[in-house]
Every structure is written in C-alpha cells, then in structure tokens.
Amino acid sequence: MSSGDLLALAPLWIAAGSAIVLLLLISVRRHFGLCAGFSILAAAAGLASVFVIGRLAPRTVTVLFVVDGYALFFIGVFFAATLIIFLVASSYLPPSAERREEFFLAAFAALLGSSVLAASAHFVSFVLGLEILSVALYVLIAFPLERRESIEAGTKYLVLASASAAFLLFGGALIYGETGVLDFATWAAQAQELPLAKPLFILGVSLIVVGIGFKLAVVPFHIWTPDVYQGAPAPSAALVATISKGGMLAFLLRFFWTIGLRRFPSLVLVFSLIAAASMIAGNLLALRQNRVKRILAYSSISHLGYILVAFLAGGAAGLEAAAFYLVAYIITMTAAFGSVALLSSADADADLLEDFRGVFWTRPGTAAVMTLAMLSLAGIPLTAGFLGKFYVASAGVGASLWALVVILVATSVIGLYYYLRVLTAMYARPHEGTAEAARPQGPRRGARTAGGIALVLLVLLLFWLGVFPTGLIDAIRTTAAALAGAIGPPGTGGGLP
Amino acid sequence: MTLLWLLGILVAGGLLAWAAGRVAPVWARWVAVAALGADLVLVVVIWIRHYQGLTLLGAPAWLLEWQVPWIPRFGITFHLAADGLSLILVALTAFLGLLSVIASWTEVKARVGFFHFNLLWVLAGIMGVFLAMDLFLFYFFWELMLVPMYFLIGLWGHEKRIAAAFKFFLFTQAGGLAMLLSILALHFVHGRASGVYTFEYAALIGAPLGAAAPWIMLGFLLAFLVKTPGVPLHTWLPDAHAQAPTAGSVILAGLLLKTGAYGLIRFILPLSPESVRAFAPFGMAIGVAGILYGAKLAFAQSDLKRMVAYTSVSHMGFVLLGVFALDGMALQGVVLQIVCHGISTGALFIVAGAVQERLKTRDLGLMGGFWNEAPRLGGATLLFALASLGLPGLGNFAAEFLILFGTFRSAPVFAIVASLGLIASTIYALSLFQRIFHGTKPGAMRLEDIGAREVAVFLALALAIIWLGLYPQPVLNTSRTAVTGIGDTYRHSSPTPGQTKAAPVSRDLGVRVRGEAP
C-alpha cells in the first residue's frame, strides 16, 4: 500500500479518525460545544478532501476499494449531508440529555460505513461497510434521550437489520461457492462465462438483493421504516433516510453496473416489481398517516421506488438520473427532517400533524423551509425535486419503461395529497391562545442558530438545483463516465444496456 | 429581452410586495399595482409598436423572441417568444391582474404581503405559459402557477377553502403530469428520428410522430381539458372558483382557464392533424355538453359564485367547440371569446366579491331588491350579465357568433345544438341579475353601493367589453397570423402533409379587414 493509496482513502481516514478523536475528547472532558464544533469542522475537512484527492482518481486501493470519480462523488455528498445534519443536531440535541456528545461519534461511524459502501469493490469491504453503518445506526436510532419509542425503534432495527445481514452473507457465500472469489470484477467476468442457469449464482445475488432492499427500505422490505422514523430522534432519522440509503444505493448502482443487470432477466423483473410496489404502497400508505415522520417514512419508500425506475432504465442516462434524484432527495429529506428537528421540543419530536398546526404563523421561517421540502418531494418547479422527477421520468421514457413511468406519474399525484396535508396543517390558523402558549416552542432561540444556518443552506441548494442544475448534471455525467470508463462503455460488456 | 422583463417585473414585484407587506399592508398593494401597471404599459407599447407588422401577410413567426441555453444536457433552452396570440393573452393577464389587485383592495386583510406575492407569481406563471416556446419551459410555468394559486385559495378563501384548494391542485397536477409524459415522448420520438434531442417548440410540433401520435395528443389533451375545463373534468372548477377570494376567482376564470384554451390552440391543433381530426367530433361534443350542462347547472345554483363559475363552464364550452371545429373563423372567434369571457366573467366575479364583502353571504336566496340601495353595482351587474348572455354590441356576442358561424361551416349539427346555449345563457344571466337586484328584500340586510375605486374597475372592464363588441377588429388582426395558419391546415382538408403549411388567405377570415389590401 503506497502513500498514494493511503491518501486516496483520506475521506475514510477523516471519518474514522474523527470518531476516535471524539471518543478521546469525550473521555477527557465532556463539552458539547467543543465536540459539535470539532465534528462540523471535521466533516467540512472531509468534504474538502474529496476535492483534493479528485486528482488521484481513479485508483484501485488494494482489492477492497476503488476510489474513482463515482465513489468520490457520493462520498462528497454524504459528507455534505452529514455536515448539515450536524448543524441541525447541535441545535436539536437538548442540553438535558446526558450523553448527547456521542451522537457525533456514532454519526461519523455511519458516515464511514456509507463511504466504504460507495467505494467498495469487493464483497468483504461491502460487508464491512454495511456492518459499520448498521451498528452506528442502532446507536443513533435508540439514541439515549430517555425516550421509550426510540429504544423500541432501535431494537426493531437491530433485529431486522441483523436478519437481513444474514441473508446477505449467505448470498455472498453461495456466490463464493460458485465462483471461488469475492471481488466483484471477477464475479462479473464469471457471470459472463457462466451459463445463466447456474442457480447458485442467481440465488446468491437474489439474497444480496434482500439485504440491499432492507437498507433501501423498498417494498416488501420496508416494514421497519415507519416505526424507526417515528421513534428515532429527528437527526438520526435524517441519517437513516439520507446517507444510509445513499450509501446502499451507490453500492447497488455500481454492483449491478459491474455484473450487468440485463444479464439476469429474472432480476430485472424482481426490481421492476419492487419499484412498482414501493411507489404504490409507499404513496398509498402515507395517505392516512397522522404523523409527519411516518409520512416522511412512507414518502421515502416511494422515492426509492422512483430511483429504482431510473436504475432499471439503465445506461448512462439511468445512472445519471438516479444519482441526480438521490442528491435532490437527500437535500430535500434533510430539509424536512431539519425542520422537524427545529420544531421539536426537548421532550418529544414534533410529529403529529396537530403539532404542525399553525406553524406558519408562529415560526414562518422554519415553516417556509418545510413547505419547500414538501413541494420538492412532490416535484414542483423551482425545487430540486422537480428536476429530479423530470430526470427520472425522462430516463424511464427514454428506456420505454412505460408501465413504470405511468405508475410513477399516477402515484406522484396521490403523493401530492399527503404533502398538501402537511402544508395545510402548517398554514391553518393556530388554536386560540392557550394551546399555542402551552406547546413547547422548540430549542431555545440562541441554540437555533446552527440549525437555522443549515436550513438556509438547504433552501439555497434546493433552489439552486431547481433552477441551475447544469453544474450538478455535469458533475454527475463525469461521475457516470468514470464508472462507465472503469468497466467499459455502457451497452457493451459490463454496462447496463 | 423585453419578454423577460414582463416576467421579471412580476417575479421581482412579488418578492418586493412580500417584503413591503411587512412594513405596511398598503405598500404591498401599491407595489403590486406598480408591477402590473408597468407590465400593462409595456405590453401595450409592444402591441402598438408591432401592430403594423402583425397585419402584414407573411410576417415573421415571432414578433419578439429571447433565447438562452438553460439545461444543455436535455437540449432545454429558456426560450420566450410572442406572436399575436401570445400578445393578446399577455395583455389580458396584465389587465385582469391589475384590476383584481384593485378590486380586492379592502377584501384581503391578513398577510397582505404574502397574498400579493402569490398573486404576482401566479400571474408570472400564467404569462410564462403564454410566452414559453420550449416545451420544458412551458411545463415549468404550467406547474409553477399551481402553488401560488393553491395558497390563494387555501389561505384567503372562504369556508370550504381547504377541500377546494386540494381538489384544484390534484386535478391540475394529474393533467400536468400526463402532459409531462407526452412532452417526454415527443422529445424522444423526435430525437430518435432526427438525432437532435431538444424541447424546442418549432422542432417538436409538426414532427412526424407515427403510431405514437394519438397517445402523445392524449397526454396534452388531458392537461388542457382539465384546465379549460371540459366536461366531465370540470368538477374542480365550481369549488375552486367559489371558495377563492375575489382576486383568485378573477384570475382562475379570466386567466387560468385560458391557459388550457391557449394550449389547445398552440399545441394540440398543430401537433398531429390526423389525430386531431379523428378526435374533433368528440372535442366538439365535449364543448356542446359543457355549454348546455354548464348553463343548466348555473341556473340551478343558489350560491352566487358557484353560479358564475358554472357560466364559465358554459362559455368555455364555446371555446372547445370553436377549437375542434377546425375552422379559421371559429378559431378567431375562440381568441375573441377567450378575451371577452375573461373580462365579462372576471367582472361578474368582482360583483360577487363586492356582494360577499358587504353581505357576508353568497346565498342568492337571502338577496333581492337591492337595486334602490346599490344602483351603481346593479348597473355594472346588468351590463356584464348582458355581456354574458351575448347581447349584440358587447364582446361576447361577436365571439360566440364567430364560433357558431365557423362551426356551422364544418359541423352544422353541433352548431345548431350549441346555439341552444344562447337561450340557456339568457335564462341564467337574467336570473342572476333578477335574484340580486329585483323583487322584494327577504331580510333587513343592506347592500352598500360601490365606491369610486370599484366604479373605476367596472368602468375599465365595461369600456373593454364594449370596445370588443363594437370594434373587435384589432384583436382579430392581432391574432390572425397566428391563428389562420393553423385553421388553414384543416380548411383545405385533404390530409396531404404538403398542403398543411399553406399560406394564410384573407378570404378565409370571413371578417374583412377594413383598409387592408386584398
């Protein structure tokens, strides 16, 4: 391992190192401001490092990692998302919580896991990344704010995530039995040579799909999602919704680009069904929810369904669309959970639609951010979500996936209904005096600053991508080219035709 | 660049009004008036300056044009362009927008800044729809106008505003997404055939579509029929119109519905003549059904605003009829009807708003005998009720006459049935006036008469409707180049594609232009 190799992994070192430094900081002296400040700076440094080492890419670091433009793009997105969630969390975590500094520690571990997933080229690094991510999320979801529902959610996630990891490991073992290796490039090469009827290989890939599906929370592996979103503290839920899903999606896109999804018609069918079911079930189940975090949970299920449409469209266009949508989705979800966090009190998260009643009149700024987030999720112009939806629909139409695109459009209309419900609650007149005064008003004013900065950043990003998307599109096209170039041009050997 | 100014003034004005509203509500109103006034002046100047050019045969396709690349990845450009048709509709937008601000001067009391922000942005979206010549940009504006309208209805509307706002948003969004699919299909069909992936209007409209043509048309049609509205996709309309505040109702009826009609003329008709010809009888049937059904329901309403809303369904039925008559003269009538309906129905909604603001009710059963107390309001109501029923000398008469005349040439049966609508409109329009102002007063309520501000609003509208009734020629001249080319596609009805671009012939106008060289 040369020094260049070490340097190429800089973002991973930064994430891992920050976790250790935090560990030491906390054991020496427990100071929230210090920990939060350090974490924010470290996340920013990680983000900067991505740009610096961009020159080294593409580079294969041992057999485990490939640091190319594709991986760096997603790692950069995860660091940026984590940075913003840190800002939100430093406003959100109540001073009354005894061990709130550990939030940053666990979040860095989750960030490390997601980044490893984005860069993994080998089954071992994939499993390592996944487990680092999962273990961090157990802690984050059940984060010790002395809330029962958080513990319940964490336990649920622990049990189900372990089960799904078992599926995944068994799948990997089956493929290993068939091929005798664990790196994806060789799998891809062997998949080409193997007759398609080789049952163990396909069975193995299918079991890996179960594990992936669980992390992405797509139907039918979605059952945990609403409970976990509802129970987890808002910033943790944001991490689950963004970098956890993003890491797995980055892996999914690369994995199936490498081994060639089109070579397995049965898998194409399975993914089509998953996408359709996620769009339909996610949107329908969200209709009758009365809790905003549950609405966001079902909404995120449907959004992953949309992304799968782009994934199935394949080719460079599909890859671009999926990546663009993911970025738009991460920004939007972070904005939504950020608003929820800033509206929450020290005792409980703002969750019931009733909690949001009249927020526009009492907290117009935060309500405006939430409004934008809802409009972006619904895909209304001027927001990033609009162009994301356009991109995905365009990829779907371009690949003639008519059934999926029609489902996408029809379910988007259904989805609009529950986003409007959230808006309606926020814009309704608040109840007369008493209820308003009795309700806790979220974090203290001074503590809101960091979160406020985060929300302003998110709003700017939402508009920026909605109006001037060209910069991001160019970056993503370079990314897609990096992936295509490493494996071979799309449409031939390794690509998704 | 001038076209960008038209939009930019509204967008900036909206933000400024929001900010100004935090200082004092009245500032927000003045900012809105200034922005819309500036737009109106600008568009009138453009109109006058280019009027001569408009009437020339073989004039350039676009009077004004502005284009910059926007999202090169998809071949999307920010392309604004105006021909006569766009210009008329943009002028109507600025005119009605200005009057709706003035008309709701005292009605809106809460969050005045935010109200005017939404108002100006919905107008910017509508204007953008009339000017966009890139299909992505068109869709962008099409969707953009929904959100502010949703807020206008949902925040400042009447008692059932939430349900109405939801219904409005869901219906139009469903139509809009269907259109998005059609736009994307068009993009890829054209791209695969020519190798050029673009959303440019000129390239996509008229491209050979093959077997996909009916499906692509259907997507567009769905969006436009929801907006226009065509029976049975009209059910959002009475709720939205009745629950919206006055300015919202005026904009909905006067402008938002017109985006659907504009879409039919601009996109559906030139898209694929074969498919349109196959659909035309159904289109006319929907139009006639709207005329009669809307009139019947209008007569049956007890809610003043719902009543006016159903008259919209009826009048917009004429628009559908005229569009699908596929006749140059009927199309001219459609353009005139778009303008006249905007003015007359807008005026009736201002009447309804004035009545509601004073009586706090829209129930016609509680009204009657107000003529003595409010003669000025009564006079205005009478004038616009007469316009609505198609009295000769007022704009709607000229418009509906042209539509029926043009339709008769191509589809006499539909024209005959549709003309029954003129009788029905007489019944509902007179009943509307009678139920408010004649008879005995059912209660002790007093209807205070309108003041100078409202008189000025009605005066402007009255002058416009009388002008359009007595001398509609300037409007017809303006839209002629844009419209007759489309009409001619269908007039010489042998469907050989070579003839579809025949030069407009003034004989087909039916309406001779005075002083024009033959």
With an 8 Å Cβ cutoff, are B154 and A380 in contact?
no
Residues B414, B358 share a domain:
yes
C-alpha to C-alpha distance for A278 and B444, rounded to whole angstroms: 60
Q: Which of B120, B144, B149, B147 is nearest to B132 (CA)?
A: B144
The pLDDT of A117-130, averaged and rounded, is: 94
Residues B291, B172 share a domain:
no
Query: How confident is the model at residue B505, as a pLDDT?
Result: 39
C-alpha to C-alpha distance for A455 and A466, rounded to whole angstroms: 16
* Contact list, A375 vs chain B (CB under 8 Å): 147
Contact indicator for A67, A8 with CB cutoff of 8 Å:
yes
Work out the mean pLDDT of chain B and round it to a whole number.
88
CA A325 from centroid of its chain's CA atoms: 11
* Least-confidence region, from A162-166, A289-293, A353-357: A353-357
Q: Residue B471 domain-assigned? A: yes
Say whether pLDDT at B95 is over 50: yes
Contact indicator for B382, B297 with CB cutoff of 8 Å:
no
Q: Give the dihedral sign, CA B447/B452/B455/B461.
A: negative
* Least-confidence region, from A264-268, B204-208, B476-480, B513-517: B513-517
Is the peptide bond between B229 and the residue preceding it cis, with omega within 30 degrees of 0? yes
Say whether pLDDT at B92 is over 80: yes
Query: How confident is the model at residue B512, as a pLDDT?
Result: 40
Q: Which two tokens stand for residue B200?
A: 């440019």
* Least-confidence region, from A287-296, A444-453, B212-221, B352-361: A444-453
Q: Residue B249 domain-assigned? A: no
Say whether pLDDT at A333 is over 80: yes
Contact indicator for A25, A18 with CB cutoff of 8 Å:
no
* CB-nearest partner of A409 from B165, B169, B178: B178
* CB-nearest partner of A424 from B154, B173, B188: B154
Q: Considering only CB atoms, which residues of chain A are within 8 Å of chain B?
A: 375, 380-382, 386-387, 390, 393-394, 397-398, 405-406, 409, 412-413, 416-417, 420, 423-424, 427, 469-470, 473-474, 477
Exposure of A151 in the CB half-sphere (CA atoms within 13 A): 5
Say whether pLDDT at B504 is over 50: no
Report residue B443's pLDDT band, with 50, 70 and 90 as the boundaries.
confident
Residues B406, B323 share a domain:
yes
Which of B15, B118, B129, B173 to mutate against chain A (most A CBs within 10 Å)?
B173
Express each pLDDT in A191-227 by its tens digit: 777 666 678 888 898 999 999 999 999 989 999 999 9
Say whether pLDDT at A382 is over 70: yes
Question: Which residue, chain included where needed, has tokens 């004429």?
Answer: B318
Kind and range of the H or E run holding A59: strand A59-61
Name the percent of chain A in helix, strand, coil, to the closest 5: 75, 0, 20
Angle at A448 between CA A443 and CA A449, to 5 degrees: 165
Say whether pLDDT at B30 is over 60: yes
Say whether pLDDT at A437 is over 50: no
The pLDDT of A308-332, averaged and rounded, is: 93
Q: Is A54 helix (H, G, I), strand (E, B) or coil?
A: coil
Q: Residue B507 domain-assigned? A: no
* CB-nearest partner of B177 from A397, A412, A470: A412
Say whether pLDDT at A441 is over 60: no
Contact indicator for B101, B33 with CB cutoff of 8 Å:
yes
Residues B279, B233 share a domain:
no
Express each pLDDT in A30-78 by its tens digit: 888 899 999 999 999 999 999 988 887 788 888 899 998 899 999 999 9
C-alpha to C-alpha distance for A317 and A391, rounded to whole angstroms: 9
- Sort strands A59-61 and A65-67 into parallel, antiparallel or unpaired: antiparallel
Query: How confident is the model at residue B58, as a pLDDT?
Result: 58
Q: Residue B492 domain-assigned? A: no
Q: Which of B422, B427, B426, B417 is nearest to B288 (CA)?
A: B417
How far, in Å, are B89, B210, B354, B452 from residue B309 at the CA level?
A: 21, 40, 16, 27
Query: How confident is the model at residue B196, as a pLDDT?
Result: 87
ipTM of the complex: 0.89
Give me the amino acid identity at B337.
Q
Q: Which two tokens stand for residue B240?
A: 């939205």
With an 8 Å Cβ cutoff, are B166 and A420 in contact?
yes
CA A247 from centroid of its chain's CA atoms: 7
Which of A407, A409, A411 to mutate against chain B (most B CBs within 10 Å)?
A409
| Alpha-carbon radius of gyration of chain B | 22
Q: Residue B259 domain-assigned? A: no
C-alpha to C-alpha distance for B8 and B27, rounded to whole angstroms: 19
A120 phi and psi angles, rounded to 5 deg: -80, 140
Say whether pLDDT at B511 is over 50: no
Domain boundaries, given as residue ranges, for chain A: 3-487
Å from A318 to nearest chain B CA? 13
Say whether pLDDT at A324 is over 50: yes
Say whether pLDDT at B501 is over 50: no
Query: How confident is the model at residue A178, as a pLDDT?
Result: 85
Residues B194, B341 share a domain:
no
Work out the mean pLDDT of chain A and round it to a whole number.
88
Q: Which two tokens stand for residue B478?
A: 């303006």
Domain count, chain B: 2
C-alpha to C-alpha distance for A392 and A430, rounded to whole angstroms: 38
Chain A contact present for B143, CB below 8 A = yes
Residues B221, B311 share a domain:
no
Say whether pLDDT at A321 is over 80: yes
* CB-nearest partner of B166 from A409, A417, A474: A417
Which of B22, B134, B135, B181 to mutate against chain A (most A CBs within 10 Å)?
B181
Q: Which two tokens stand for residue B44?
A: 């009138």
Report residue A442's pLDDT band, with 50, 70 and 90 as the boundaries.
low
Express each pLDDT in B387-423 by its tens digit: 999 899 899 999 999 999 999 988 899 999 999 998 9
C-alpha to C-alpha distance for A222 and B334, rounded to whole angstroms: 53
Residues B289, B184 share a domain:
no
C-alpha to C-alpha distance for A234 and A351, rounded to whole angstroms: 10
Express each pLDDT in A129-183 by its tens digit: 999 999 999 999 988 777 888 889 999 999 999 999 999 999 999 999 888 889 8
Residues B282, B205 share a domain:
no
Residues B276, B232 share a domain:
no
Give the bridge partners for B134, in sequence order. Answer: B200
The pLDDT of A434-443, averaged and rounded, is: 49
Q: Residue B30 domain-assigned? A: yes
Query: How confident is the model at residue A485, as a pLDDT?
Result: 65
Q: Which two tokens stand for residue A33?
A: 């401001």
Express each pLDDT in B33-90 by its tens digit: 999 999 999 999 998 888 877 766 555 678 888 899 998 888 899 999 988 899 999 9
* CB-nearest partner of A416 from B140, B169, B180: B169
Query: How confident is the model at residue A136, as a pLDDT?
Result: 94
pLDDT cut 70: percent of chain A above it:
93
How far, in Å, are A342, A440, B439 from residue A346 at the CA level?
A: 10, 8, 64
Query: How confident is the model at residue B487, as a pLDDT?
Result: 67
Query: How confident is the model at residue B514, as a pLDDT?
Result: 40
Residues B172, B82 share a domain:
yes
Q: Which two tokens stand for residue A184?
A: 């994806």
Residues B280, B235 share a domain:
no
Q: Is B48 helix (H, G, I), strand (E, B) or coil?
A: helix
C-alpha to C-alpha distance for A481 and A394, rounded to whole angstroms: 19
With an 8 Å Cβ cutoff, are A390 and B136 in contact?
yes
Query: How confident is the model at residue A17, as a pLDDT?
Result: 95
The pLDDT of B479-491, averaged and rounded, is: 74
Q: Residue B46 domain-assigned? A: yes
Say whether pLDDT at B474 is over 80: yes
C-alpha to C-alpha distance for A159 and A138, rounded to whole angstroms: 10
C-alpha to C-alpha distance for A275 and A305, rounded to whole angstroms: 4
> Which residues, 6 or more positions from A265, have their beta carbon under 8 angstroms from its beta carbon?
none
**Domain boundaries, position B180:** 1-240
Express each pLDDT in B190-243 by its tens digit: 998 888 899 998 888 878 888 888 999 999 999 999 998 888 899 999 999 999
Give the bridge partners for A291, in sequence order. Answer: A352
Give me the amino acid identity at B427.
I
